[in-house]
Structure 1
Amino acid sequence: MPRLRHFAIVVRDLDRMTEFYKSVFGLEFIDSETIGTGTANYLSDGVVNLALLHFSDKSEEELDRMAGLNHFGIQVDDVAEYEKRVEAAGGRFFFELTGSKKGNAERKYKDPEGVVFDISAHGWVGTDGRIEPSE
Protein backbone atom coordinates (compact mmCIF):
# COMPACT_ATOMS: atom_id res chain seq x y z
CA MET A 1 0.00 0.00 0.00
CA PRO A 2 1.54 3.38 -0.99
CA ARG A 3 2.21 5.68 1.96
CA LEU A 4 2.61 9.47 2.08
CA ARG A 5 5.91 9.91 3.93
CA HIS A 6 7.58 13.11 2.76
CA PHE A 7 6.81 16.80 2.26
CA ALA A 8 9.38 19.40 1.18
CA ILE A 9 9.00 23.14 1.51
CA VAL A 10 11.34 25.92 0.44
CA VAL A 11 12.12 28.36 3.22
CA ARG A 12 13.88 31.72 3.31
CA ASP A 13 15.36 31.33 6.82
CA LEU A 14 16.34 27.71 7.47
CA ASP A 15 17.25 28.05 11.16
CA ARG A 16 14.17 30.08 12.05
CA MET A 17 11.80 27.71 10.27
CA THR A 18 13.49 24.63 11.75
CA GLU A 19 12.94 26.05 15.24
CA PHE A 20 9.36 27.04 14.34
CA TYR A 21 8.31 23.51 13.36
CA LYS A 22 10.18 21.96 16.29
CA SER A 23 8.67 24.28 18.90
CA VAL A 24 5.12 24.53 17.56
CA PHE A 25 4.56 20.90 16.56
CA GLY A 26 7.20 19.04 18.56
CA LEU A 27 8.85 17.66 15.43
CA GLU A 28 12.24 16.08 15.98
CA PHE A 29 15.30 17.33 14.11
CA ILE A 30 16.65 14.24 12.33
CA ASP A 31 19.52 15.48 10.19
CA SER A 32 20.87 18.14 7.85
CA GLU A 33 22.28 17.59 4.39
CA THR A 34 23.92 19.63 1.64
CA ILE A 35 21.77 19.35 -1.48
CA GLY A 36 23.21 20.84 -4.65
CA THR A 37 23.29 24.59 -4.02
CA GLY A 38 21.59 24.54 -0.67
CA THR A 39 20.76 22.77 2.55
CA ALA A 40 17.96 20.47 3.66
CA ASN A 41 16.99 20.12 7.31
CA TYR A 42 14.96 16.98 7.97
CA LEU A 43 12.33 16.94 10.72
CA SER A 44 9.96 14.12 11.61
CA ASP A 45 7.02 13.11 13.75
CA GLY A 46 8.18 9.49 13.44
CA VAL A 47 5.86 8.80 10.51
CA VAL A 48 6.40 11.63 8.00
CA ASN A 49 9.61 13.42 6.96
CA LEU A 50 9.40 17.20 6.54
CA ALA A 51 12.32 18.56 4.51
CA LEU A 52 12.99 22.28 4.89
CA LEU A 53 14.92 23.37 1.79
CA HIS A 54 17.03 26.51 1.55
CA PHE A 55 18.82 27.35 -1.70
CA SER A 56 21.85 29.54 -1.05
CA ASP A 57 22.28 30.44 -4.72
CA LYS A 58 18.90 32.18 -4.90
CA SER A 59 18.25 35.88 -4.36
CA GLU A 60 15.76 37.06 -1.74
CA GLU A 61 13.28 37.74 -4.54
CA GLU A 62 13.70 34.24 -5.96
CA LEU A 63 13.26 32.70 -2.51
CA ASP A 64 10.10 34.78 -2.01
CA ARG A 65 8.67 33.30 -5.23
CA MET A 66 9.78 29.76 -4.37
CA ALA A 67 8.78 29.72 -0.69
CA GLY A 68 6.19 27.10 0.16
CA LEU A 69 5.40 23.56 -0.86
CA ASN A 70 7.96 22.23 -3.32
CA HIS A 71 6.96 18.57 -3.61
CA PHE A 72 5.71 15.55 -1.67
CA GLY A 73 6.80 11.92 -1.59
CA ILE A 74 5.12 8.54 -1.55
CA GLN A 75 6.83 5.33 -0.46
CA VAL A 76 5.92 2.25 -2.51
CA ASP A 77 7.10 -1.34 -2.63
CA ASP A 78 7.79 -1.39 -6.39
CA VAL A 79 8.91 1.86 -8.05
CA ALA A 80 8.77 0.41 -11.59
CA GLU A 81 5.16 -0.70 -11.13
CA TYR A 82 4.08 2.72 -9.88
CA GLU A 83 5.97 4.48 -12.65
CA LYS A 84 3.83 2.51 -15.14
CA ARG A 85 0.70 3.56 -13.26
CA VAL A 86 1.77 7.22 -13.23
CA GLU A 87 2.43 7.24 -16.97
CA ALA A 88 -0.80 5.35 -17.78
CA ALA A 89 -2.76 8.00 -15.86
CA GLY A 90 -1.12 10.93 -17.69
CA GLY A 91 1.79 11.72 -15.38
CA ARG A 92 5.41 11.73 -16.46
CA PHE A 93 8.91 11.11 -15.19
CA PHE A 94 10.68 14.39 -14.27
CA PHE A 95 14.17 13.43 -13.05
CA GLU A 96 16.05 11.20 -10.65
CA LEU A 97 17.74 12.58 -7.55
CA THR A 98 20.66 10.29 -6.76
CA GLY A 99 23.86 10.29 -4.80
CA SER A 100 22.31 11.52 -1.57
CA LYS A 101 24.56 11.05 1.44
CA LYS A 102 21.59 10.02 3.57
CA GLY A 103 20.02 7.70 1.01
CA ASN A 104 17.09 10.04 0.32
CA ALA A 105 17.33 9.37 -3.41
CA GLU A 106 14.09 9.16 -5.28
CA ARG A 107 12.53 9.43 -8.70
CA LYS A 108 10.58 12.61 -9.34
CA TYR A 109 7.45 12.84 -11.45
CA LYS A 110 4.90 15.43 -12.49
CA ASP A 111 1.18 14.77 -12.36
CA PRO A 112 -0.98 15.84 -15.35
CA GLU A 113 -1.16 19.41 -13.97
CA GLY A 114 2.58 19.69 -13.34
CA VAL A 115 2.70 19.08 -9.57
CA VAL A 116 6.02 17.45 -8.60
CA PHE A 117 6.06 14.33 -6.43
CA ASP A 118 8.59 11.66 -5.49
CA ILE A 119 8.29 7.91 -5.52
CA SER A 120 10.71 5.99 -3.31
CA ALA A 121 11.04 2.35 -2.31
CA HIS A 122 13.25 3.06 0.71
CA GLY A 123 11.47 6.06 2.23
CA TRP A 124 13.00 9.05 3.99
CA VAL A 125 14.99 9.57 7.18
CA GLY A 126 12.84 9.69 10.30
CA THR A 127 9.88 7.81 8.79
CA ASP A 128 8.32 4.61 10.06
CA GLY A 129 8.77 2.63 6.83
CA ARG A 130 12.37 3.65 6.18
CA ILE A 131 14.63 1.03 4.62
CA GLU A 132 18.27 2.03 5.13
CA PRO A 133 20.28 2.01 1.90
CA SER A 134 23.13 -0.46 1.65
CA GLU A 135 26.56 1.10 1.30
Structure 2
Amino acid sequence: MERTPERPWLIRAFHNMIPAPRPAQRAREEESDEEPAVDGATVRPKLRHLAIVARDPEQLARFYTSVFAMELFHRDPDGSCFLSDGYLSLALIKHRLDGDIPVGMNHFGFHITDTAATSEALAAAGTPKPAERFTNRPFAEYRAMDPEGNWFDLSEHGFGGRRAQSGSAGRG
Protein backbone atom coordinates (compact mmCIF):
# COMPACT_ATOMS: atom_id res chain seq x y z
CA MET A 1 0.00 0.00 0.00
CA GLU A 2 1.29 3.44 -0.90
CA ARG A 3 1.14 6.35 1.54
CA THR A 4 -0.82 9.39 0.32
CA PRO A 5 -2.11 12.51 2.14
CA GLU A 6 -5.60 10.97 2.05
CA ARG A 7 -4.33 7.63 3.33
CA PRO A 8 -1.60 8.00 6.00
CA TRP A 9 0.48 5.02 7.04
CA LEU A 10 -1.07 2.68 9.56
CA ILE A 11 1.34 0.46 11.45
CA ARG A 12 0.17 -2.32 13.74
CA ALA A 13 2.50 -4.58 15.68
CA PHE A 14 1.37 -7.88 17.17
CA HIS A 15 3.43 -10.59 18.77
CA ASN A 16 2.42 -14.25 18.40
CA MET A 17 -1.23 -13.49 17.72
CA ILE A 18 -3.74 -12.75 15.04
CA PRO A 19 -5.79 -9.73 16.11
CA ALA A 20 -9.54 -10.18 15.88
CA PRO A 21 -11.52 -7.30 14.40
CA ARG A 22 -14.20 -5.75 16.57
CA PRO A 23 -17.70 -7.15 15.77
CA ALA A 24 -19.03 -3.83 14.40
CA GLN A 25 -15.82 -3.29 12.46
CA ARG A 26 -15.99 -6.85 11.05
CA ALA A 27 -19.50 -6.19 9.70
CA ARG A 28 -18.35 -2.94 8.04
CA GLU A 29 -15.32 -4.71 6.53
CA GLU A 30 -17.50 -7.44 5.05
CA GLU A 31 -19.70 -4.81 3.37
CA SER A 32 -16.79 -2.79 1.98
CA ASP A 33 -13.62 -3.34 -0.02
CA GLU A 34 -11.95 -0.39 1.72
CA GLU A 35 -9.24 -0.65 4.38
CA PRO A 36 -10.83 -0.70 7.89
CA ALA A 37 -10.93 2.64 9.68
CA VAL A 38 -9.15 3.08 12.98
CA ASP A 39 -11.47 5.55 14.61
CA GLY A 40 -11.98 4.06 18.08
CA ALA A 41 -15.76 4.44 17.71
CA THR A 42 -16.40 0.82 18.71
CA VAL A 43 -15.24 -0.10 22.19
CA ARG A 44 -13.84 -3.61 22.40
CA PRO A 45 -14.67 -5.59 25.58
CA LYS A 46 -11.63 -5.86 27.85
CA LEU A 47 -10.48 -9.07 29.51
CA ARG A 48 -9.96 -7.85 33.09
CA HIS A 49 -10.56 -10.81 35.40
CA LEU A 50 -9.34 -14.37 35.95
CA ALA A 51 -10.58 -16.75 38.65
CA ILE A 52 -8.79 -19.78 40.02
CA VAL A 53 -10.30 -22.24 42.50
CA ALA A 54 -7.57 -22.85 45.08
CA ARG A 55 -7.11 -25.22 48.00
CA ASP A 56 -5.20 -22.51 49.91
CA PRO A 57 -6.04 -19.02 48.59
CA GLU A 58 -3.99 -17.33 51.34
CA GLN A 59 -0.85 -19.20 50.31
CA LEU A 60 -1.42 -18.35 46.64
CA ALA A 61 -2.09 -14.72 47.54
CA ARG A 62 1.25 -14.57 49.38
CA PHE A 63 2.92 -16.10 46.32
CA TYR A 64 1.42 -13.62 43.83
CA THR A 65 1.98 -10.59 46.09
CA SER A 66 5.61 -11.50 46.82
CA VAL A 67 6.70 -12.72 43.38
CA PHE A 68 4.60 -10.46 41.12
CA ALA A 69 3.94 -7.51 43.47
CA MET A 70 0.17 -7.90 43.09
CA GLU A 71 -2.01 -6.07 45.60
CA LEU A 72 -4.49 -7.90 47.84
CA PHE A 73 -7.57 -5.67 47.72
CA HIS A 74 -10.36 -7.89 49.07
CA ARG A 75 -10.74 -10.98 51.25
CA ASP A 76 -14.01 -12.91 51.66
CA PRO A 77 -15.05 -14.48 54.98
CA ASP A 78 -14.57 -17.94 53.41
CA GLY A 79 -10.88 -17.14 52.74
CA SER A 80 -11.14 -16.29 49.04
CA CYS A 81 -8.60 -13.62 48.11
CA PHE A 82 -8.77 -10.99 45.37
CA LEU A 83 -5.63 -9.43 43.92
CA SER A 84 -4.84 -6.89 41.24
CA ASP A 85 -1.86 -5.75 39.26
CA GLY A 86 -3.68 -2.47 38.62
CA TYR A 87 -5.03 -3.75 35.32
CA LEU A 88 -6.31 -7.30 35.76
CA SER A 89 -7.95 -8.77 38.84
CA LEU A 90 -7.17 -12.30 40.00
CA ALA A 91 -9.73 -14.10 42.15
CA LEU A 92 -8.39 -16.96 44.24
CA ILE A 93 -11.60 -18.75 45.18
CA LYS A 94 -11.58 -21.06 48.20
CA HIS A 95 -12.22 -24.66 47.15
CA ARG A 96 -14.99 -26.39 49.09
CA LEU A 97 -14.32 -30.02 49.87
CA ASP A 98 -18.00 -30.84 49.51
CA GLY A 99 -18.29 -29.11 46.13
CA ASP A 100 -17.99 -30.63 42.70
CA ILE A 101 -15.93 -27.75 41.23
CA PRO A 102 -12.31 -28.80 40.69
CA VAL A 103 -9.29 -26.71 41.61
CA GLY A 104 -7.66 -24.70 38.82
CA MET A 105 -8.92 -22.24 36.25
CA ASN A 106 -12.60 -21.52 36.85
CA HIS A 107 -13.65 -18.53 34.74
CA PHE A 108 -12.58 -15.22 33.28
CA GLY A 109 -14.39 -11.93 32.95
CA PHE A 110 -14.93 -9.18 30.40
CA HIS A 111 -15.46 -5.52 31.22
CA ILE A 112 -18.07 -4.44 28.68
CA THR A 113 -19.88 -1.21 27.84
CA ASP A 114 -23.31 -2.57 26.89
CA THR A 115 -24.79 -5.72 28.42
CA ALA A 116 -27.79 -5.78 26.07
CA ALA A 117 -25.64 -5.57 22.93
CA THR A 118 -23.24 -8.21 24.25
CA SER A 119 -26.16 -10.50 25.13
CA GLU A 120 -27.52 -10.11 21.61
CA ALA A 121 -24.11 -10.97 20.14
CA LEU A 122 -23.88 -14.07 22.35
CA ALA A 123 -27.37 -15.22 21.31
CA ALA A 124 -26.48 -14.64 17.64
CA ALA A 125 -23.41 -16.83 18.18
CA GLY A 126 -25.66 -19.63 19.43
CA THR A 127 -24.74 -19.54 23.12
CA PRO A 128 -27.21 -19.45 26.02
CA LYS A 129 -28.42 -16.07 27.21
CA PRO A 130 -26.18 -14.72 30.02
CA ALA A 131 -27.57 -15.40 33.49
CA GLU A 132 -27.78 -12.73 36.15
CA ARG A 133 -25.29 -13.31 38.97
CA PHE A 134 -27.02 -13.46 42.31
CA THR A 135 -24.18 -13.02 44.78
CA ASN A 136 -23.34 -10.90 47.78
CA ARG A 137 -20.34 -9.53 45.86
CA PRO A 138 -21.09 -6.39 43.85
CA PHE A 139 -18.75 -7.29 41.02
CA ALA A 140 -19.88 -9.11 37.87
CA GLU A 141 -23.48 -8.77 36.88
CA TYR A 142 -23.80 -11.73 34.48
CA ARG A 143 -22.34 -15.20 33.86
CA ALA A 144 -22.22 -16.69 30.36
CA MET A 145 -20.67 -19.63 28.52
CA ASP A 146 -18.76 -19.97 25.30
CA PRO A 147 -19.65 -22.73 22.78
CA GLU A 148 -17.40 -25.23 24.60
CA GLY A 149 -18.89 -24.57 28.04
CA ASN A 150 -16.18 -22.28 29.46
CA TRP A 151 -17.64 -19.81 31.95
CA PHE A 152 -17.06 -16.09 31.80
CA ASP A 153 -18.44 -13.07 33.61
CA LEU A 154 -19.75 -9.84 32.11
CA SER A 155 -19.53 -6.56 33.98
CA GLU A 156 -20.32 -3.01 32.95
CA HIS A 157 -18.83 -1.52 36.12
CA GLY A 158 -15.60 -3.52 36.27
CA PHE A 159 -13.94 -6.05 38.52
CA GLY A 160 -12.32 -4.00 41.26
CA GLY A 161 -8.76 -3.40 42.21
CA ARG A 162 -7.20 0.02 42.19
CA ARG A 163 -9.01 1.15 39.06
CA ALA A 164 -12.54 0.23 40.15
CA GLN A 165 -15.05 2.59 38.55
CA SER A 166 -17.74 2.11 41.17
CA GLY A 167 -15.42 2.17 44.16
CA SER A 168 -15.97 -1.52 44.91
CA ALA A 169 -13.38 -4.24 44.72
CA GLY A 170 -13.97 -7.54 43.28
CA ARG A 171 -14.49 -10.73 41.55
CA GLY A 172 -16.90 -12.17 39.11
TM-score (norm. length: structure 1): 0.81
What is the deviation of 1:23? 1.0
Cα deviation digits, residues 16-51 of structure 1 (max 9, x gap):
1110111111100011124xxx44311000011100
Is 1:44 the counterpart of 2:84? The answer is yes
1:22 alignment partner in structure 2? 65
Give the Cα–Cα distance (whole angstroms) in 1 for the partners of residues 106 and 160 of structure 2. Answer: 18
Q: Which among 127, 133, 138 is matched to residue 91 of structure 1?
A: 127
- When residues 127 and 109 of structure 1 are mapped into structure 2, their CA distance, relative to the original with a 3 A threshold, is farther
Q: Which runs of 5+ in 1 are unaligned?
A: none
- The one-letter code matched in structure 1 to 2:166 is E
TM-score (norm. length: structure 2): 0.65
- When residues 29 and 113 of structure 1 are mapped into structure 2, their CA distance, relative to the original with a 3 A threshold, is same
Say whether the 8 Å CA contact 1:48–1:127 is kept in structure 2: no
Runs (4+) of structure 1 exceeding 2 A deviation are 93-96, 98-101
- The one-letter code matched in structure 2 to 1:17 is L
- When residues 40 and 115 of structure 1 are mapped into structure 2, their CA distance, relative to the original with a 3 A threshold, is same
Give the Cα–Cα distance (whole angstroms) in 2 for the partners of residues 93 and 21 of structure 1. Answer: 34
Give the Cα–Cα distance (whole angstroms) in 1 for the partners of residues 152 and 162 of structure 2. Answer: 17
What is the deviation of 1:96? 2.2
- When residues 49 and 68 of structure 1 are mapped into structure 2, their CA distance, relative to the original with a 3 A threshold, is same
Q: Which runs of 5+ in 2 are unaligned?
A: 1-42
Secondary structure at 1:112's aligned position in 2? coil
Say whether the 8 Å CA contact 1:104–1:124 is kept in structure 2: yes
Q: CA RMSD in A?
A: 2.2
1:12 alignment partner in structure 2? 55
- The one-letter code matched in structure 2 to 1:110 is M
Higher strand share: 1
Say whether the 8 Å CA contact 1:90–1:111 is kept in structure 2: no
1:1-135 to structure 2, matched below 5 A, reads 1=43, 2-34=45-77, 38-56=78-96, 58-59=97-98, 66-93=102-129, 95-101=131-137, 103-126=138-161, 128=163, 130-132=164-166
Number of residue-to-residue matches in the alignment: 125
Say whether the 8 Å CA contact 2:140–2:154 is kept in structure 1: no
